[in-house]
Amino acid sequence: MSLASNRVDVPVIVDESKCLEKCTACIEVCPLDVLAKNPETGKAYMKYDECWFCLPCEKECPTGAVTVQIPFLLR
């Protein structure tokens, strides 16, 4: 089977200048487990577009690096 990769506007935005490499707070609290660390930069990013826009990732980030947008389809 052939697969295409599509561009998607994702709801969770991480400000890499504020994200702490040793911190995993947002990743640990996400109910859907959609956040991960970029192995190259050590910064968090939204790996899977499966978001409930519930906000724990944003609320528990110690540096305010995480912003949750309403997913485009609902916005």
Partner 1 sequence: MNIVKRSVDFLVVGGGTAGCMAAIKAKHKNPDAHVLVLEKANIRRSGAIAMGMDGVNTAVIPGNSTPEQYVKEITIANDGILDQKCVLKTGELGFSVIQELEEWGVKFQKDNEGEYDLKQVHRVGKYVLPMPEGKDLKKILSRQVKRNKVEVINRVMATRVIVQDGRAVGVTGLDVRSGDFHVIQAKAILLCTGACGRLGLPASGYLYGTYENPTNAGDGYSMAYHAGAKLSNIECFQINPLIKDYNGPACAYVASPFGAYTANAEGNRFINCDYWSGQMMLEMWKELNSGSGPVHLKMYHLDEATISEIETILFANERPSRERFHAGRSENYRTHGVEMSISEIGLCSGHSASGVQVDENMETSIQGLYAAGDMANVPHNYMIGAFVSGRVAAEHAMNAIKEFDHLEPDQAFLDAEMKRIEAPLSNPDGIPHTQVEYKLRRYVNDYMQPPKSPSNMEIGLEKFVAYDSVLSQMGARDPHELMRCMEIHFIRDCAEMAARASLFRRESRWGLYHYRLDYPNRNDEEWLCNTIIEKSENSTMEVSKQPLQPYIIDVNLAEEKYDVAVVA
Least Cβ distance, residue 49 to partner 1 (angstroms): 8
For partner 1, give the closer residue by CB, 45 or 60.
60
CA distance 64 to 25: 11
Provide the 10 A C-beta neighbour count for residue 53: 13
**Does the footprint of partner 1 cover residue 7 (CB under 8 A)?**
no
Q: Is residue 74 within 8 Å of residue 20, measured between CB atoms?
A: no
**Residues 12-51: x where in contact with partner 1 by CB under 8 A, - otherwise, as a string:** ----------------xxxxxx-------------xx-xx
